[in-house]
Chains A and B, each alone.
Chain A
Amino acid sequence: MPALEEVRRELAAALPAAALIDDHARLRTYECDGLTGYRVVPGLVALPGTHDEVVAAVRSCHRNGVPYVARGAGTGLSGGALPVANGIVIGLSRMRKILEVDTVNETATVEPGVTNLAISQAAAAHGLYYAPDPSSQQVCTIGGNVAENSGGAHCLKYGFTTHHVLAADVVLPDGTAARLGGDARARDDGPDLLGLFIGSEGTLGIATRITVRLLRRPAAVRTLLADFGSVEEAGRAVSGIVAAGIVPAAVEMMDALAMRAAEAATGAGFTLDPARAAAALVVEVDGPPAEVEECFRRIVAVCETNAATRVRVAADPEERARIWRGRKAAFAAMGRISPDYFVQDGVVPRARLAEVLARIAELGEAAGLRVANVFHAGDGNLHPLVLYDASAGQSEAGEELSRRIAELCVELGGSLSGEHGIGADKACSMPRMFSETDLAVMARVRDAVDRDGLCNPGKVLPTPRLCGERIGPYRAHVVEEAGLGERW
Chain B
Amino acid sequence: MTGADPQRPRDRRRPVVLRPADAGEAVEAVLEGAKARGRLRIAGAGTAAEWGGMRPDPDAAVLSTERLRGVVDHQPDDMVLVVRAGTPLAELAPELAAHGQRLALDPARAEEGATVGGLLATADAGPLRQLHGGPRDLVLGVTVVLADGTAARSGGRVIKNVAGYDLAKLLSGSLGTLGLVVELAVRLHPVPEATATWAVPCADRAALAVARRAEAAGAEPAAMQWADLGDGSEPRLLLRFEGGEGALTERLAAVAEVLPAGRALRGDAEDAAWAATAAAVRGGAFRVTAAPGAFPLVDAVPAGTVRVREVGGGVETVAPGETSVVDAYRAAADPVGRTLMPHRRSAGGVVLADPATLPVRTALKRALDPEGRLPGPLSSPARFPAPPAGRADT
Indicate if the CB atoms of A444 and B163 lie closer than 8 Å: no
* B170 CB within 8 Å of chain A: yes
Q: How many positions in chain A have a CB within 8 Å of any CB in the partner chain?
A: 101
Q: How does the 8 Å CB contact mask read for A269-289 relative to B, with 1 for contact and 0 for none?
A: 000000000000000000111
Question: Which B residues lie within 8 Å of A125 (CB)?
Answer: none
Indicate if the CB atoms of B151 and A478 lie closer than 8 Å: yes
Q: How many A-B residue pairs have CB under 8 A?
A: 324
Q: How does the 8 Å CB contact mask read for B248-292 relative to A, with 1 for contact and 0 for none?
A: 011100100000000000000000000000000000000101111
Given known contacts A176-B359, A482-B24, A196 and B163 CB-to-CB distance under 8 angstroms:
no
Which parts of A119-140 form the interface with B (CB within 8 Å)?
Answer: 127
* B247 CB within 8 Å of chain A: yes
Which parts of B187-240 form the interface with A (CB within 8 Å)?
Answer: 189-191, 208, 215-216, 218-220
Indicate if the CB atoms of B160 and A243 lie closer than 8 Å: no
* B119 CB within 8 Å of chain A: no
Which parts of B323-370 form the interface with A (CB within 8 Å)?
Answer: 336-339, 341, 350-354, 356-357, 359-361, 363-364, 366-368
- Give the distance to chain B from A302, nearest Cβ to Cβ, in Å: 13
Bound-state CA distance A445–B146 (Å) is 12
Question: Which A residues lie within 8 Å of B302 (CB)?
Answer: none
Indicate if the CB atoms of A183 and B291 lie closer than 8 Å: yes
Q: How does the 8 Å CB contact mask read for A377-410 relative to B, with 1 for contact and 0 for none?
A: 0011100000000000000000000000000000
Indicate if the CB atoms of A479 and B75 lie closer than 8 Å: no
Given known contacts A191-B173, A195-B169, A289-B250, A442 and B101 CB-to-CB distance under 8 angstroms:
no
Bound-state CA distance A218–B290 (Å) is 26
Q: How does the 8 Å CB contact mask read for B148-163 relative to A, with 1 for contact and 0 for none?
A: 0011111011111111
* B184 CB within 8 Å of chain A: no
Indicate if the CB atoms of B100 and A245 lie closer than 8 Å: yes
Given known contacts A239-B77, A448-B363, A349 and B157 CB-to-CB distance under 8 angstroms:
yes
Interface centre among B134, B162, B164, B170, by most A CB within 10 Å? B162
Indicate if the CB atoms of A104 and B208 lie closer than 8 Å: yes
* A290 CB within 8 Å of chain B: yes
Residue of B nearest to A414 (CB): B158
Bound-state CA distance A78–B297 (Å) is 45
* A186 CB within 8 Å of chain B: yes
Q: Select one of A149, A187, A190 contacting B136, CB under 8 A.
A: A187
Residue of B nearest to A420 (CB): B162
* A24 CB within 8 Å of chain B: no
Indicate if the CB atoms of A178 and B354 lie closer than 8 Å: yes
Given known contacts A442-B167, A445-B170, A448-B363, A290 and B247 CB-to-CB distance under 8 angstroms:
yes
* B313 CB within 8 Å of chain A: yes
Indicate if the CB atoms of B164 and A442 lie closer than 8 Å: yes
* A18 CB within 8 Å of chain B: no
- Give the distance to chain B from A77, nearest Cβ to Cβ, in Å: 12
Indicate if the CB atoms of A190 and B244 lie closer than 8 Å: no
- Give the distance to chain B from A372, nearest Cβ to Cβ, in Å: 20
Question: Which B residues lie within 8 Å of A199 (CB)?
Answer: 162, 165-166
Indicate if the CB atoms of A435 and B166 lie closer than 8 Å: no
Indicate if the CB atoms of A415 and B136 lie closer than 8 Å: no
Indicate if the CB atoms of B136 and A192 lie closer than 8 Å: yes
Question: Which B residues lie within 8 Å of A449 (CB)?
Answer: 360, 363-364
* B125 CB within 8 Å of chain A: yes
Indicate if the CB atoms of A419 and B160 lie closer than 8 Å: yes
Given known contacts A437-B152, A444-B368, A479-B27, A416 and B360 CB-to-CB distance under 8 angstroms:
no
- Give the distance to chain B from A472, nearest Cβ to Cβ, in Å: 13
* B113 CB within 8 Å of chain A: no
* B9 CB within 8 Å of chain A: no
Bound-state CA distance A416–B164 (Å) is 10
Indicate if the CB atoms of A347 and B158 lie closer than 8 Å: yes
* B23 CB within 8 Å of chain A: yes
Q: How does the 8 Å CB contact mask read for A412-440 relative to B, with 1 for contact and 0 for none?
A: 01111111111000100010011101111
* A54 CB within 8 Å of chain B: no
* B129 CB within 8 Å of chain A: yes
Indicate if the CB atoms of B356 and A177 lie closer than 8 Å: yes
Question: Which A residues lie within 8 Å of B190 (CB)?
Answer: 245-247
Given known contacts A417-B161, A422-B164, A193 and B367 CB-to-CB distance under 8 angstroms:
no
* B58 CB within 8 Å of chain A: no
Indicate if the CB atoms of B136 and A195 lie closer than 8 Å: yes
Residue of A nearest to B241 (CB): A288
- Give the distance to chain A from B366, nearest Cβ to Cβ, in Å: 7
Given known contacts A159-B137, A413-B158, A442-B167, A184 and B143 CB-to-CB distance under 8 angstroms:
no
Given known contacts A191-B361, A417-B162, A445-B368, A183 and B290 CB-to-CB distance under 8 angstroms:
yes
Q: Select one of A196, A347, A437 contacting B150, CB under 8 A.
A: A437
Bound-state CA distance A482–B29 (Å) is 14
Question: Which A residues lie within 8 Å of B162 (CB)?
Answer: 148-149, 199, 415, 417-422
Residue of A nearest to B364 (CB): A448
- Give the distance to chain A from B220, nearest Cβ to Cβ, in Å: 6
* A363 CB within 8 Å of chain B: no
* B312 CB within 8 Å of chain A: yes
Question: Which B residues lie within 8 Å of A481 (CB)?
Answer: 23
Question: Which A residues lie within 8 Å of B336 (CB)?
Answer: 179
Question: Which B residues lie within 8 Å of A380 (CB)?
Answer: 78, 158-160
Indicate if the CB atoms of B169 and A196 lie closer than 8 Å: yes
Question: Which B residues lie within 8 Å of A460 (CB)?
Answer: 164-165
Q: How does the 8 Å CB contact mask read for A459-483 relative to B, with 1 for contact and 0 for none?
A: 0110000000000000001110111
Interface centre among A414, A419, A461, by most B CB within 10 Å? A414
Residue of B nearest to A174 (CB): B359
- Give the distance to chain B from A207, nearest Cβ to Cβ, in Å: 14
- Give the distance to chain B from A446, nearest Cβ to Cβ, in Å: 7
Question: Which A residues lie within 8 Å of B215 (CB)?
Answer: 216
Residue of B nearest to A432 (CB): B163
- Give the distance to chain A from B365, nearest Cβ to Cβ, in Å: 8
Indicate if the CB atoms of A288 and B250 lie closer than 8 Å: yes
Bound-state CA distance A159–B140 (Å) is 12
Indicate if the CB atoms of A188 and B78 lie closer than 8 Å: no
Given known contacts A196-B169, A288-B251, A478-B23, A417 and B146 CB-to-CB distance under 8 angstroms:
no
- Give the distance to chain A from B249, nearest Cβ to Cβ, in Å: 8
Question: Which A residues lie within 8 Å of B6 (CB)?
Answer: none
Question: Which B residues lie within 8 Å of A198 (CB)?
Answer: 166, 169
Indicate if the CB atoms of B220 and A287 lie closer than 8 Å: yes
Question: Which B residues lie within 8 Å of A172 (CB)?
Answer: 360
Minimum-distance CB pairs A-B, first 9: A195-B169, A184-B314, A245-B190, A219-B218, A448-B367, A182-B353, A291-B247, A484-B24, A183-B337
- A sample of 14 cross-chain residue pairs with beta-carbon separation below 8 angstroms, ordered by A number, consists of A102-B291, A159-B133, A163-B137, A187-B173, A196-B165, A219-B218, A242-B77, A294-B247, A351-B77, A418-B161, A430-B163, A434-B154, A440-B152, A449-B364
Which residues from chain B sit less than 8 Å from chain A, CB to CB?
22-25, 27, 75-80, 100-101, 123, 125, 129, 133-134, 136-137, 143, 146, 150-154, 156-175, 177-178, 189-191, 208, 215-216, 218-220, 243-244, 246-247, 249-251, 254, 287, 289-294, 310, 312-315, 336-339, 341, 350-354, 356-357, 359-361, 363-364, 366-368, 378
Given A163-B137, A191-B361, A448-B360, output 19 extra A-B contacts at Cβ < 8 Å.
A104-B292, A176-B359, A177-B356, A178-B360, A179-B356, A181-B353, A182-B337, A188-B173, A190-B352, A196-B169, A199-B165, A380-B78, A414-B158, A418-B160, A419-B162, A420-B162, A445-B165, A448-B364, A479-B24
